[in-house]
């Protein structure tokens, strides 16, 4: 395909986890089930593009992030990075060049940092293990650069400090600095601000946006918060039970959502200014079903206020409903 603009491409990606049946099931020869965590998604991320992956817990958004960073192995589909098929590349040394280009920021900065290492060692760790520096002077320079880019200034003040001496916002910056140190081209950020105080969030988001603006870094921003996704992303992809239900530009998804689930997400988000055009659809009842028992037809139909016969039978394909705007809903036709 001629899309050379894409840094990352997911093609029909599937991650199914087998359920270990009990002894009773095995004796009776009952087949073990599967949890369809990610159930066939197509997604591209361009160079320097910020894509937000939005979904509730259990939607599979974190699993997608883990596949991209090669922390989970897909059961089907392909993962292409700069056109090269990375799906079956495994093993520490084979993945070293890839890890140099793709980094992950985890949600919980309290757990992601080794409490017995200094900030310097934490940020230096990926540089050392990926063998990106030749001497100590270079190492110090790269660590300083990463800390400064993550907004920890002056960097020298933080070298000898331990995570417990830092505030929550500073800790999250150290996590970001660790990811930045190797100068990646793509960062997968899994809920990077959800644990932070509101007044700190904007600072961290600013750091991420600056990285894109200055270094043309691409970002996959995983979140459950639609307004936050709108704030930071160029495009938003909405995930429900392992499948993308809608994808489009941040403005299109926010102001002109075409899938009932996206509309429900928008309506459920508490707002400080009540708009007149809200709550056109009744609020959703119930919860996301288990990924081990994905409903037949459209997987959203049991909760969809607009579901009709066809939704219970056939799974809707993603259909273009606007420029660069796809929605997997029979009503979109």
Among 44, 63, 170, 327, binds other proteins (CB under 8 A): 170
> Which neighbouring-strand residues pair with 52?
221, 236
Q: Which stretch binds other proteins (CB under 8 A): 24-32, 155-163, 192-200, 322-330?
A: 192-200
Strand order in the sheet with 84-85: 34-46, 6-18, 76-81, 84-85
How far apart CA 144 and CA 153 sit, in angstroms, is: 9
Q: Vertex 12, ends 6 and 16: CA angle to 5°?
A: 130
In terms of CB distance, is 82 or 267 closer to other proteins? 267
* Selected range binding other proteins among 25-33, 89-97, 142-150, 273-281, rule: CB under 8 A: 273-281
Which listed range, 18-26, 40-48, 61-69, 270-278, lies at the site for other proteins (CB under 8 A)?
270-278
**194-209: b (≥16 Cβ within 10 Å) or e:** ebbeeebbeebbebbe
Which residues sit opposite 240 in a β-bridge? 243
Q: How many residues bind other proteins (CB under 8 A)?
A: 41
Give whichever of 68 and 208 is closer to other proteins, judged by the CB atom: 208
| Per-residue x/- track, 199-218, other proteins (CB under 8 A) | xxxxx-xx--x---------
The single residue among 38, 50, 189, 284 that binds other proteins, judged by CB under 8 A, is 284
The residue (of 118 and 194) whose beta carbon lies closer to other proteins is 194
Residue with tokens 């961290």: 204
Relative to beta strand 76-81, strand 84-85 is antiparallel
**Full DSSP string of 238-293:** EEETTEEEEEEEHHHHHHS--SHHHHHHHHHS--SS--TT---SPPPPS-PPPTTS
> Which residue of 132, 224, 294, 297 would you call a contact of other proteins, by CB under 8 A?
224
3-state SS, residue 38: strand
Candidates 19, 32, 268, 292; binder of other proteins (CB under 8 A) is 268
User: By rule CB under 8 A, what string of x and - marks binding of each residue 27-56 to other proteins?
Assistant: -----------------------------x
CB 158 within 8 A of CB 119: yes
Smallest distance from the beta carbon of 7 to other proteins, in angstroms?
A: 23
In the complex, the smallest distance separating the C-beta of residue 249 from other proteins, rounded to whole angstroms, is 12
80 Cβ contact partners less than 8 Å away, ≥ 6 residues apart: 6, 8, 9, 10, 11, 86
271 binds other proteins (CB under 8 A): yes
Residues that bind other proteins (CB under 8 A): 56-57, 167-170, 197-203, 205-206, 209, 224-228, 230-231, 254-255, 264-265, 267-275, 283-285, 287-288
């Amino acid at each position: 395909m001629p899309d050379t603009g894409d840094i990352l491409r997911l093609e029909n990606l599937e991650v199914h986890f087998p359920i270990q049946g009990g002894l009773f099931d095995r004796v009776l020869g009952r087949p073990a089930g599967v949890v369809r965590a990610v159930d066939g998604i197509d997604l591209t991320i361009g160079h320097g593009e910020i894509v937000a992956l939005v979904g509730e817990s259990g939607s599979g958004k974190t699993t997608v992030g883990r596949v991209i960073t090669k922390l989970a192995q897909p059961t089907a589909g392909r993962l292409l990075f700069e056109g090269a098929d990375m799906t079956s590349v495994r093993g520490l040394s084979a993945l070293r060049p890839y890890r140099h280009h793709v980094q992950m920021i985890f949600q919980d900065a309290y757990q992601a940092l080794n409490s017995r290492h200094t900030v310097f060692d934490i940020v230096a760790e990926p540089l050392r293990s990926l063998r990106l520096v030749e001497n100590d002077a270079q190492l110090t320079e790269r660590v300083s650069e990463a800390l400064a880019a993550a907004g920890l200034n002056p960097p020298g003040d933080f070298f000898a400090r331990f995570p417990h001496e830092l505030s929550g916002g500073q800790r999250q910056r150290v996590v970001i600095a660790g990811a930045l140190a190797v100068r990646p081209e793509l960062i997968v950020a899994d809920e990077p601000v959800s644990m932070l105080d509101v007044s700190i969030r904007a600072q961290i988001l600013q750091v991420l946006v600056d990285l894109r603006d200055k270094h043309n870094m691409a970002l996959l921003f995983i979140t459950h918060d639609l307004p936050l996704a709108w704030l930071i992303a160029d495009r938003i992809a909405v995930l429900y039970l392992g499948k993308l239900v809608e994808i489009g530009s941040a403005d299109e998804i926010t102001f002109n959502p075409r899938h009932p689930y996206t509309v429900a997400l928008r309506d459920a988000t508490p707002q400080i200014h009540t708009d007149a055009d809200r709550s056109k659809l009744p609020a959703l009842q119930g919860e996301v079903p288990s990924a081990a028992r994905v409903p037949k037809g459209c997987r959203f139909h049991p909760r969809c206020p607009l579901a009709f016969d066809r939704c219970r039978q056939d799974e809707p394909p993603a259909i273009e409903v606007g420029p660069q705007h796809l929605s997997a809903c029979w009503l979109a036709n």
